[in-house]
């Protein structure tokens, strides 16, 4: 099972206040502060149910999905020629 964490707290790096505000709008203050200040890993299932997930991709499809997404994003940039 996959998980993620907001890890700057583990090495003493402060987070941008705007990051905390953004996450607080999505999660509520208590959950956002908990994730920022404790750096506790969060399981994908919890991430998905909180609305932070974008898309679940099987492990064997990650590279294909990521390359397709990055090409779609880069195609929005002026002068992109499919490089």
pTM of the model: 0.54
The rounded distance, in Å, linking the Cα atoms of 20 and 79 is 34
Answer yes or no: is pLDDT of 19 > 90: no
In the chain, what are the domain boundaries?
Answer: 3-52, 56-83
pLDDT bin (cut points 50, 70, 90) of residue 82 is low
| Tens-place pLDDT, residues 23-65 | 888 888 888 888 888 888 888 778 777 777 778 888 899 999 9
> Torsion over CA of 53, 22, 33 and 48, rounded to 10 degrees?
-10
Confidence of residue 67 (pLDDT cuts 50, 70, 90): very high
**What per-residue confidence (pLDDT) applies to 64?**
96
């Amino acid at each position: 099972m996959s998980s993620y964490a907001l890890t700057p707290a583990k090495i003493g790096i402060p987070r941008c206040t705007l990051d905390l505000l953004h996450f607080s709008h999505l999660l509520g203050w208590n959950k956002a502060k908990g994730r920022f200040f404790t750096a506790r890993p969060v399981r994908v299932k919890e991430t998905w149910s909180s609305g932070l997930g974008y898309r679940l991709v099987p492990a064997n499809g990650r590279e294909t999905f990521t390359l397709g997404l990055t090409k779609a994003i880069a195609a929005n940039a002026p002068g992109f020629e499919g490089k």
